[in-house]
Amino acid sequence: MVIAAGRQPPPGPTRGPLAGLRVIEMVGLGPCPFAAMLLADMGAEVIRIDRLASTSATTTATYPMLGSAFDVLARSRRSLALDLKVPAGQQVLRQLLEQADVVVEGFRPGVMERLGVGPAPCLARNARLVYGRVTGWGQSGPLAQAAGHDLNYIALSGMLAAIGRADAAPPPPLNLVGDFGGGGMLLAFGVLCAVLEAKSSGHGQVVDAAMTEGSALLGAMVYGMRAFGNWRLERGANLLDGGAPFYDSYACADGKYITIAALEPQFYAELLALTGAADSAFEDQCQQWREPPHGAIGWPVMRAHFTRLFASRSRAQWCALLEGTDVCFAPVLDMDEAPLHPHNVARASFIELAGVTQPAPAPRFSRSVPAASTAPRAAGADSAAILTDWGFDAAAVADLRTAGVI
């Protein structure tokens, strides 16, 4: 795929807003590498601690892109492959943690403790260390030791039950809500909060990011609407869950889809004006649109009218008429189409590393612009260089390699 070149930083040396922050990442899956990627994207020096042995057959069968250029979550950082099953490997990690500002890990509770690098000994050796931990259920509670994945965590948060159509089971919303929004992003936020606090107190602390709590937090507004009385527990019966016909996606004549989100009356009025929808079924709802039970009475009739209307033209035709207006409109693009959309091209919203198209770092900064992203490194590709940079002498590095520790 050919896309616009990645955004160019201003002339001269650039340093992201997190330049100078030193982070140790215990390599795992999902939320932890996502959090580490966010930190690295913003200029932090993040060292990935990879397993010395190759990834297990079970893991590679499920995630075959790991360790390759397609492992986007591993971009922009170096890799140290270390045998943590032996005391010498554990000692190397302890020495690195003595110099780090942050460590992030996503193992089940107790794994790091069994390796001898749990929070207590690490904070004893480095009082300012921020110890970031992300799990599904949290570090404590009846489910803390149970296996799980994103879908399980958002099920417990109350959010999964609110997603989907009325006549079907709740669909998995990819793994965006638990792993990434409620997990990795929450971990990165928590870690940076603790780093700022440590600057004044001189003391680090443990950050316990639980995906089930993070996904519940993402639903804070919906919980408020429920308490206020204008959110029904039935799926597909509310303003933002596909219940309202003016906030939904619709099929076009060519089988492609568009989205309409004309919530406010002035935007809805523009939708009617531009599409020529003059039927009273549309206009009556414009006046009583707000929340169930009032709006819901006429929603099925209104939806039927919208369904017929949007099926009468192709997606391209609707884009030509509605895109860029105040209708609150966008086409539904797939992952091949999105990087090529003119708006995304103009903003360089996607970059290409080692032939892999991927989302660009975000958000943007006016002054402390991060350096360009780099492609993922193979496990252990930088072991000797990392140890040298972090104060290990050449003889010690050679001994570790000879002993099979790195």
Largest CA distance in the chain: 83
Q: Which two tokens stand for residue 240?
A: 């933002």
SS3 readout for 359-406: ECCCCCCCCCCCCCCCCCCCCCCCHHHHHHHCCCCHHHHHHHHHCCCC
CB proximity list for 213: less than 8 A, separation 6 or greater: 138, 157, 182
Asked if residues 178 and 214 have their Cβ atoms less than 8 Å apart, the reply is yes
Q: Kindly name the residue from 149, 284, 326, 341 that is annotated as catalytic.
A: 149
CB proximity list for 61: less than 8 A, separation 6 or greater: none
Question: What is the distance between the alpha carbons of residues 232 and 299, in angstroms, rounded to a whole number?
Answer: 15
Question: What is the distance between the alpha carbons of residues 318 and 254, in angstroms, rounded to a whole number?
Answer: 11
Question: What is the distance between the alpha carbons of residues 90 and 129, in angstroms, rounded to a whole number?
Answer: 17
- Tell me 319's DSSP state: H
Asked if residues 25 and 48 have their Cβ atoms less than 8 Å apart, the reply is yes
φ, ψ (nearest 5 deg) of residue 122 = -70, -45
Question: What is the distance between the alpha carbons of residues 150 and 138, in angstroms, rounded to a whole number?
Answer: 13
Asked if residues 266 and 322 have their Cβ atoms less than 8 Å apart, the reply is no
- Count Cα atoms within 13 angstroms, Cβ side, for 92: 27
Q: Which two tokens stand for residue 99?
A: 């110099």
Q: Kindly name the residue from 83, 179, 241, 248 that is annotated as catalytic.
A: 179
Question: What is the distance between the alpha carbons of residues 311 and 256, in angstroms, rounded to a whole number?
Answer: 10
The sign one gets for the Cα dihedral 145, 148, 150, 154 is: negative
The residue with tokens 């669909």 is 171
- Tell me 238's DSSP state: S
Alpha helical stretches, state H, 276-382: 280-288, 294-310, 315-322, 342-346
336 is catalytic: no
3-state helix, strand, coil in the chain (%, to 5): 40, 15, 45
179 is catalytic: yes
Catalytic (active-site) positions: 149, 179
